[in-house]
Structure 1
Amino acid sequence: MIGLDEALALIADRVVPLGTETVPLAESAGRTLAEDLCARSDSPRHAVSVMDGYAVIDAATRPGKTFAVVGESRAGSGFDRTLKPGEAVRIFTGARLPAGADRVIVQEHAERDGERVRFVEGYGPATHVRPAASDFRAGDVLLAAGTRLDPRALVTAGAADRAEVRLARRPRVAVIGTGDELAAPGSAHLEPDAVPESVTLGVAAMVEAEGGTIVARDAAADELAALTRHAGRALDQADLVVVTGGASVGERDFAKPMFEAHGLDLVFSKVAIKPGKPVWLGLARGKVVLGLPGNPTSAMVTATLFLKPILARLQGVRADHAWRRLPLAAPLAATGDRETFVRARWAAEGLVPLGNQDSGAQGPLARADWLVRCPPHHGERAAGTEVMALAF
């Protein structure tokens, strides 16, 4: 049995990126950049107005003086000749400044009379001009390789003026829940020994949130021949297969045996953590196979610790967890001989460990938003103590 850090090192060593593809920018939301995204041109390309008003030559302008209004400049339709002293151009927010102009006087300080305008006291000192290339210059790296194109990053990507982007190939993931007791949510109450199959729902949602795409999500009873066929179909479809349950040593625990006919090569078979000791990783037919415990809390904790870095690695991204040092808002109980991940919620004063830490508990999962990392034989910690924590 190995520790968490050793298991994560094996993931970094054995899980390789899937490759890249070129995709239209409009279809890239949620995907991961495979190369730096550089600006095609300066932004803004010209000096532009940040207010509605009049563009003038500052040195030729003073309060009370009347100017000839010789045209206008709108966003997308500029004024195309050089401005002369004594002239003004009506200008709107985002419009290109005429050549020669270096100030915009806002319309609140202007008195317009036909084709003449006079400016009143108080229009300075701001020029209300955004200089050319004040945001970025052509060739600047706007988004680094490995960036997830979330809504904010997509705005920046669009500003680079690229119709297509080079992206990491999106991992195709199959999720298989195993167990005779599992029934589809909505039907479990009809059988006395059935429980709702909930874990694969959370795992699939995590996959989608981390940039993967679900190609299959199934639940299957503990029958080895049928599970072996399930495994084969999943390996045909997916780059990564996640199987939940069946990882203990009982006579009907088939999570690993179901892949043996497909050439399973175990990378690790147990990790010295609580919850989640039965988590395992293997390779079969060139595909990654991750086994998660069947207990819901154990499954989601180990998915956070292992599935997320596997998905990152498949997309060519560093898989380091973002541990943070945060204060406790309530006491943290001592733990045993395994590294323990305590579920906690964030309150105004810090982290509050949840009262129910049972590996099968599902009610508290919705309230837990942090995992507190506790070394083996971790003594009780008082409120106010700083601990290492990971967003859950």
Structure 2
Amino acid sequence: MISFDEALERVRGAARPLGTEIVAIGVAAGRVLAAPVIASISSPRRDASAMDGYAVREADLSTLPARLRIVGESFAGGGWNGAVGSGECVRIFTGAPVPEGADRVVIQENVRRDGDVAVIEETSDARHVRERGIDFEKGEQLLPAGRLLDKRAIVAAAAADLAQVDVHSRPSVVILGTGDELTEPGTAKERTDAIPESVSLGIAALMTDWGASVAGRERLRDDLPSMEEAAARAVESADLVIVTGGASVGEKDFAKTMFEPLGLKLIFSKVAIKPGKPVWLGRVGTTLVLGLPGNPTSALVTGRLFLAPLLAGLSGRAPDEALKWRAASLSAPLKECGPRETFHRARWKGSTVEILGFQDSSAQQALAEADVLVRQLADSPAVPAGSEIEVLDF
């Protein structure tokens, strides 16, 4: 059994990007750039108006009120192609190109229209012109390789006039849930010894948060021959296989055994943490296999601690982007820690963190209340209320 930090280091070593592909900008959200985004146009491409008003020549405003003849209109997407001469102006709208000859925009609130004449009675120091290229120039790098294409980055990539982007491949994952007692949610009421299978659904939701696609989800009976067949199918079709349950020492715990005929090589087996000691990671050929405990809380905690950084690395991000620990204040005292490093489920209580009362590894209602994990090192002393502790968004 190894420490949490050592197990995490082995996860970092296994979490290598899988490859790259080119995808349309419209389906690129959530992907990670494999190459920088370089602007193919400038923004704005011409001087543009920042307000609705009138495009004028500064020289014509030396004496106020000024009476300027309106010679045209300029709209966003439909600019006026003439040149503004002395004593002239152009009606202009936000985002429209500023016509040649004009060098400022007077906002419409400061203009009175008299037929085809704009009477400008007052001005301000603001020019209300967005200069060409003030946002970015053609050929400029807008986003670096490795940047997650979140909503803000997608806007920048589209503004660069790119129809496609070069991104890291999305990990394909198969989830195998094991246990004779498990049944599909909605059907457990039909058997007194049945338990709704909830873990794989939670793990699938966690996976999508970290850039993976669910290639399959299968519930397996505790029958070794059929489990071996399922393992072979999963390894063949996925970059990562996740197995939930069956990692203890019972007669029907076949989570690792089902992969042994395929040449399973363990990267680690069991970690000195609570909850989640049975978590393990291995490899079959080029496919990674992650074993998570069957208890819901244990599975979700170990998934957050190990699966999230693993998926981040496989999809082109730095694994540690998934483990951004920060300091928080403890709302109530915390007892001393035992020999295993412990990750307490907790929730925010105002500006402090409150440890949940029910910490059982099978908890599901309490799991829904937790939004943060509190890290407590092995064999550490009790922690008084108000102390600073390490937390991770959960």
**Alignment TM class, shorter chain as reference:** over 0.9
CA RMSD for the aligned pairs?
1.3
- Per the alignment, residue 66 of structure 2 pairs with 65
- Per the alignment, residue 51 of structure 1 pairs with 51
Kept after mapping to 1: 8 A contact 2:15/2:311: no
- Per the alignment, residue 85 of structure 2 pairs with 84
Distance between the aligned counterparts of 2:37 and 2:52, measured in 1?
33
Question: Which stretch of structure 1 is more off in the superposition, 49-58 or 7-16?
Answer: 7-16
Distance between the aligned counterparts of 2:337 and 2:270, measured in 1?
19
Q: Which runs of 5+ in 2 are unaligned?
A: none
Among 376, 379, 383, which residue is 1:377 paired with?
A: 379
1:1-392 superposed matches below 5 A: 1-61=1-61, 62-121=63-122, 123-320=123-320, 321-392=323-394
Structure 1 residue 285: Cα displacement: 2.7
Amino acid aligned to 2:231: A
CA distance 1:137–1:382, change in 2 (3 Å): farther
Structure 1 residue 295: Cα displacement: 0.6
- Give the TM-score normalised by the residue count of structure 2: 0.96
- What secondary structure does 1:261 align onto? helix
Structure 1 residue 190: Cα displacement: 1.7
Kept after mapping to 2: 8 A contact 1:40/1:161: yes
Structure 1 residue 44: Cα displacement: 1.1
Structure 1 residue 143: Cα displacement: 2.0
CA distance 1:386–1:140, change in 2 (3 Å): farther
Structure 1 residue 83: Cα displacement: 2.1
- What secondary structure does 1:99 align onto? coil
Structure 1 residue 215: Cα displacement: 1.0
Kept after mapping to 2: 8 A contact 1:188/1:194: yes
Amino acid aligned to 2:121: V
Distance between the aligned counterparts of 1:334 and 1:319, measured in 2?
30
Distance between the aligned counterparts of 1:209 and 1:201, measured in 2?
13
What's the CA shift string for 1:197-250, capped at 9, x where partnerless? 000000111112211111110111111111111101111211100000011111
Q: Which runs of 4+ in 1 moved over 3 A?
A: none
Distance between the aligned counterparts of 2:310 and 2:88, measured in 1?
64
Structure 1 residue 160: Cα displacement: 1.3
Question: Which stretch of structure 1 is more off in the superposition, 140-149 or 101-110?
Answer: 140-149
Q: Which runs of 5+ in 1 are unaligned?
A: none
Kept after mapping to 2: 8 A contact 1:328/1:349: no
Kept after mapping to 2: 8 A contact 1:247/1:253: yes
Structure 1 residue 271: Cα displacement: 0.8
- Give the TM-score normalised by the residue count of structure 1: 0.97
Distance between the aligned counterparts of 1:331 and 1:388, measured in 2?
14
Structure 1 residue 150: Cα displacement: 2.4
- What secondary structure does 2:319 align onto? coil
Distance between the aligned counterparts of 1:334 and 1:372, measured in 2?
13
Question: Which stretch of structure 1 is more off in the superposition, 125-134 or 278-287?
Answer: 125-134
Distance between the aligned counterparts of 1:353 and 1:103, measured in 2?
60
Question: Which stretch of structure 1 is more off in the superposition, 141-150 or 344-353?
Answer: 141-150
What's the CA shift string for 1:128-152, capped at 9, x where partnerless? 1122222122233222222222223
Distance between the aligned counterparts of 2:230 and 2:294, measured in 1?
17
Aligned length: 391
> Between the two proteins, what is the percent identity of the paired residues?
52
Structure 1 residue 153: Cα displacement: 2.1
Question: Which stretch of structure 1 is more off in the superposition, 100-109 or 265-274?
Answer: 100-109
Distance between the aligned counterparts of 1:85 and 1:379, measured in 2?
82
What's the CA shift string for 1:277-316, capped at 9, x where partnerless? 1000000132000000001000000000111111111112
Amino acid aligned to 1:35: A
Distance between the aligned counterparts of 1:113 and 1:386, measured in 2?
68
Distance between the aligned counterparts of 1:391 and 1:344, measured in 2?
10
Distance between the aligned counterparts of 1:292 and 1:73, measured in 2?
62
Kept after mapping to 1: 8 A contact 2:15/2:312: no
Amino acid aligned to 1:43: S
CA distance 1:329–1:141, change in 2 (3 Å): farther
Kept after mapping to 1: 8 A contact 2:275/2:343: yes
